[in-house]
Amino acid sequence: MNAPLPRPSPPMAMLAELTHRCPLSCPYCSNPVELSRKDSELSTEAWIAAFREAAALGVLHVHLSGGEPASRPDLVPLVAAARDAGLYTNLITSGIGLTERRVAELDDVGLDHVQLSIQGTDAAMADRVGGYRGGFARKMQVAGWVHSAGLPLTVNAVMHKQNLDRLEETIELAVTLGARRLEVATVQFHGWAALNRAALMPTRAQAMRAREIVLAARERLKGTLVIDYVPADHHARYPKACMGGWASTGLNVTPDGTVLPCHAAQTIPGLTFERVGSRPLKAIWETGAAFMAFRGTDWMQEPCRSCERKTIDFGGCRCQAMALAGDAAATDPVCSKSPHHAALVAEAEADAEATPPDFVYRRMPQNEPVA
Ligand code: SF4
Ligand code: SF4
């Protein structure tokens, strides 16, 4: 029998998904296919209580996300409350729903950082991918307001088959917008993205070229722009340490207050989740069944169990293991040691070579894509 696990260290970060509402309809959205509706969202007071509990637990950063967090009319008071609780506040936004005045108010209440997503380097591409006419123009305005307010800006560019060939322009755009950091993030195939694999999966040649472009740009832009590059999973030999290891560094709270060990944890059947307010957040973090399920390494099967990398990547992503191997405790099929790896790569290569079909847009009833 395994010895009881030691009490876990506190999480560093909380992803607060304030709402699933979003004016955009990105086909790569990692939100679940079953979106939470407005009437199930936590109230302002419940979010404020959650921020206080998170800070008391030891959380340092809160990432205010969605959906589009600016769809919440109480965004400014929520940022103020998170700051009052002592949290570093990062707003993850598409920019839609922000105005010059709202950016100034967010700055006034102490917002620490803005992460702005872009879907392309011109209106034709960006508005088609985001499914929102006028989105690109508004994003350019928002970047200007953020820059003028002196708020640190990260540009998040989600890259895929249909825009990876414009990576150099994307990097130039980030510099023009005054960003300090650019995340070149290849689509991760969770949520809605899984429905759009053949439209989005990049080819190996695109991924290799992207790596060369990023390496050259990092050198050229040293001191101006930091560039992170997240390649497609199947182009790597080993998986990433998803969430830094299950229930080790961060937690997510969904719009209705469900506390998750990771963004996609609800895709794993059999896990039970708790809501903020049902028990102290500290108790949910330390002893919640979903958090305990894959914490540490005792749950591992072979080949992870005897692998020298098991405390480096923690066997990869549990949700991906569930989706691709049918077993959440299996080795992530992204790993070259997984018996499912060859099939995963073959499927991904076929998707990459396919003529892109039309997008399946992420859609809540009020969204109306342009395409
Ligand atoms: S990925 Fe697109 S649709 Fe999904 S929340 Fe972000 S901006 Fe909205
Ligand atoms: S076998 Fe498991 S622990 Fe080893 S590299 Fe692969 S996923 Fe990581």
Half-sphere CA count of 108, side-chain side, radius 13 A: 9
> Is residue 117 scored above 70 in pLDDT?
yes
Return mean pLDDT, the chain.
Answer: 93
Q: Is 22 in the pocket of ligand 1 (CB under 6 A)?
A: yes
What was the pLDDT predicted at 248? 95
Ligand nearest to the CA of residue 361, numbered in listed order: 1
Q: Which ligand sits nearest to residue 309's alpha carbon?
A: 2
Query: Given the CA of residue 304, which atom of ligand 2 is nearest to it?
Result: 2
Q: Tell me which DSSP letter residue 242 carries.
A: G
pLDDT, residue 293, reads 96
Indicate if ligand 1 lies below 6 Å from the C-beta of 95.
no
Close Cβ partners of 269 (under 8 Å, ≥ 6 residues apart):
322
Among 45-49, 108-112, 316-320, the least confident range? 316-320
What residue ranges line ligand 2, CB within 6 angstroms?
238-239, 303-304, 307, 309-310, 313, 315-316, 331-332, 335, 337
Ligand closest to 316 (CA) is 2
Question: Could you tell which of 17, 18, 21, 24 is best to mutate to test the pocket of ligand 1, judged by most ligand atoms within 8 Å of the CB?
Answer: 24
Nearest atom in ligand 1 to the alpha carbon of residue 119 is 2
pLDDT band at 369 (very low <50, low <70, confident <90, very high): very low
Please tell me the predicted confidence (pLDDT) of residue 365.
Answer: 55
26 close to ligand 1 (CB < 6 Angstrom)? yes
Query: How long a stretch of residues is the chain?
Result: 371
Contact between 70 and 93 (Cβ < 8 Å): yes
pTM for the model stands at: 0.93
**More confident: 147 or 243:** 147
Tell whether the model's pLDDT for residue 99 goes beyond 60.
yes
Average pLDDT rounded to a whole number, residues 162-168: 95
- The percentage of residues in the chain with a pLDDT greater than 70, rounded to a whole number, is 97
pLDDT digits over 25-67, tens only?
999 998 888 888 888 999 999 999 999 999 999 999 999 999 9
* Secondary structure (DSSP) of 8-35: PPPPSEEEEE--S--S---TT--S-SSP
**Other Cβ atoms closer than 10 A to 243:** 24
Query: In terms of Cα–Cα distance, which of 312, 310, 343 is closest to 329?
Result: 310
Percent of the chain with pLDDT over 90: 85
